[in-house]
Every structure is written in C-alpha cells, then in structure tokens.
C-alpha cells in the first residue's frame, strides 16, 4: 500500500490541571519540512519533539501546533497572605517612624508588591506533563497516518484506473499499424511520381523504403511502455515510501509515449497518443502526493 503525504491529525490529552491539544497537518514536499508552534513552557522539548515526529512522518511539509489550557483557572494562582502581612507590617512601621499617614486602600497598595500572588502551576515542566505532551503528539501523528493511509488507498485506485486507460489506448495501436505503413509507402511513391524528370533505381528505392519504414517501427516502444506500466503497478503494490520511484517510472513512460507520437505518422494513432499523454499527466500530478 502507498501512503499520501497529505493528512491531518488531532489529539487532546488532559491531566489534573491542564488540557494539551496537538494538531498536525502535512502536505507534499520532496523532503521533511517541519514547522512548529508550541507554548514557551515546552520549548525545551522542541528538538526532541521534532526528532520524534521525523521518525514517523519521513517526508512532507508538516505543521505542528500545540495548545495548552489551564483546566481550573481559579486554582492557577492564589493570594500570598503571609507575604502581604509582612508588607503591611513594614508599611505600618514606616508610618510610625516617618509620621506619614497609612494608605486608605490597602488592597491596591499591597497587591503592587512582588510575590503577593503565588502560582500553583510549577514553572518547570513536570514528568506528568511531559508524558502527556508526547502522548498527545503520538496520538495526533497516528491520526495523521491513518488519514494518509486512507488517501493512499484513493491514490492507488486512481493510478490503477489511469494505468488501465493507458493500456487500453496502447492496445488500440496495432489496428492502425498496417494502414499506417501502407500510407507511408503510398505517400513516398506519390511524391516520387510527381517528379517526372528524376530517374531512380526501383530496387534501391525498395531497400531505402524498407529502411525508412523500419526506422518508424514502434514495436520496441510498445514493449517498453508495457514493461513500465507493469513496473509502476508492481512498485505501487510493494509498499509505502515509493513516491520518488513512481515519479521516475512515470517519466520513462512519458518518453516512450512521446516516441510513439513522433513515429506514428498517422492521425488516429496520434489521437491515441494524446489520450495516453492526458492520462499520464494526471498520474504525474498525483505522484507528487505519494510518500
């Protein structure tokens, strides 16, 4: 089975006081191009996260976004009463010694001092939260991989259909070959008959005509194109990670189809070539999405 590079995955993991949400989106790219938007508290884990994701996704333009929410905001910070009491005592002592009035609004004065509010959320990343972060990333990556597998199945059906269409057009080519050779021969003879002043050796003409028609023989191109079609299907069915290889095979298919077109010298065969080219262009466009 092949995998698509296009995908999306999302996961949410909750711990006692936080909810971590991870979203991962990927598009096609020749290499892995990972951009990350994560909260400052997780920056120390960014390199580890990147390596962790790279080992799974391999290729693609990947966007990683991490959100963190405090589940119980009312418990996130509390009033540091002992600290405020110490500040109040100092202000009262200062008032007595300097003979200045006490403040009329104690709350506004005391809350301006440092450390009068304390946070229940630790400043450093704890092991529980780190585990939750990586679990959320793993679940999001697995959701994205499932998306890639589903898209890969659609791509397989698409490629099989297009390869089948090219086979069908190629199978129509032989019915025009006898007429094609006869028309080439007739066109040459007609051209020579119009030149009445030129005398030529008919035996030599026959040899040259055979040589010319042999140069326009397309049996090798048909055989090679058939081999490329078979190889494309075998490669597609061999497993994921074959995107670049499928791209190379489609290029070789294009060369053989182009040569068929240049050698055809027949209107109906050229129409078949145009239809094969149309199918191949659709294949080339979608191969860019394959891992």
**Residues 172/272, Cβ–Cβ less than 8 Å:** yes
Q: Looking at the predicted structure, is the pLDDT value of residue 147 above 50?
A: yes
- The rounded distance, in Å, linking the Cα atoms of 40 and 231 is 49
**Residues 26/5, Cβ–Cβ less than 8 Å:** yes
List the alpha helices (DSSP H) in 79-201.
Answer: 81-98, 106-110, 127-172, 177-193
- The rounded distance, in Å, linking the Cα atoms of 234 and 229 is 9
Query: What pTM did the predictor assign?
Result: 0.70
Give the pLDDT of residue 180: 73
**Residues 27/172, Cβ–Cβ less than 8 Å:** no
- 81: nearest Cα among 116, 122, 106, 112: 116
Strand partners, 62: 26, 34
Q: Which fold has domain 7-73+125-148?
A: Ribosomal Protein S5; domain 2 (3.30.230)
User: Could you read off the pLDDT of 50-109 as tens digits, one per residue?
Assistant: 999 998 888 899 999 998 887 765 445 677 888 889 989 999 999 999 999 998 888 888
Q: Name the residue ranges covered by the structural domains of the chain.
A: 7-73+125-148, 77-119, 150-287
Residue with token string 């066109």: 187
């Amino acid at each position: 089975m092949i995998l698509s590079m296009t995908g999306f995955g999302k996961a949410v993991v909750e711990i006692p006081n936080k909810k971590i949400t991870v979203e991962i989106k990927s598009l096609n790219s020749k290499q892995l191009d990972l951009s990350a938007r994560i909260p400052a508290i997780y920056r120390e884990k960014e390199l580890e996260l990147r390596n962790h994701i790279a080992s799974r996704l391999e290729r693609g333009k990947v966007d990683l976004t991490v959100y963190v929410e405090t589940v119980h905001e009312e418990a996130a910070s509390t009033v540091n009463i002992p600290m405020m009491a110490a500040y109040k005592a100092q202000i009262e002592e200062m008032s007595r010694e300097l003979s200045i009035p006490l403040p009329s609004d104690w709350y506004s004065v005391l809350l301006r001092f440092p450390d009068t509010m304390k946070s229940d959320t630790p400043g450093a990343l704890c092991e529980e939260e780190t585990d939750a972060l990586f679990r959320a990333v793993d679940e999001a990556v697995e959701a994205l991989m499932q998306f890639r597998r589903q898209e890969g199945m659609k791509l397989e059906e698409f490629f099989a259909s297009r390869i089948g269409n090219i086979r069908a057009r190629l199978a129509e080519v032989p019915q025009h070959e006898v007429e094609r050779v006869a028309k080439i021969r007739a066109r040459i003879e007609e051209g020579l008959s119009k030149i009445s002043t030129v005398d030529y050796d008919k035996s030599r003409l026959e040899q040259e005509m055979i040589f010319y028609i042999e140069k326009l023989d397309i049996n090798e191109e048909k055989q090679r194109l058939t081999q490329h079609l078979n190889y494309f299907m075998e490669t597609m069915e061999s497993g994921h990670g074959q995107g670049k290889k499928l791209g190379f095979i489609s290029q070789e298919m294009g060369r053989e189809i182009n040569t068929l077109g240049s050698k055809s010298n027949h209107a109906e065969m050229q129409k078949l070539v145009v239809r094969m080219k149309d199918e191949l262009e659709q294949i080339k466009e979608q191969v860019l999405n394959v891992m």
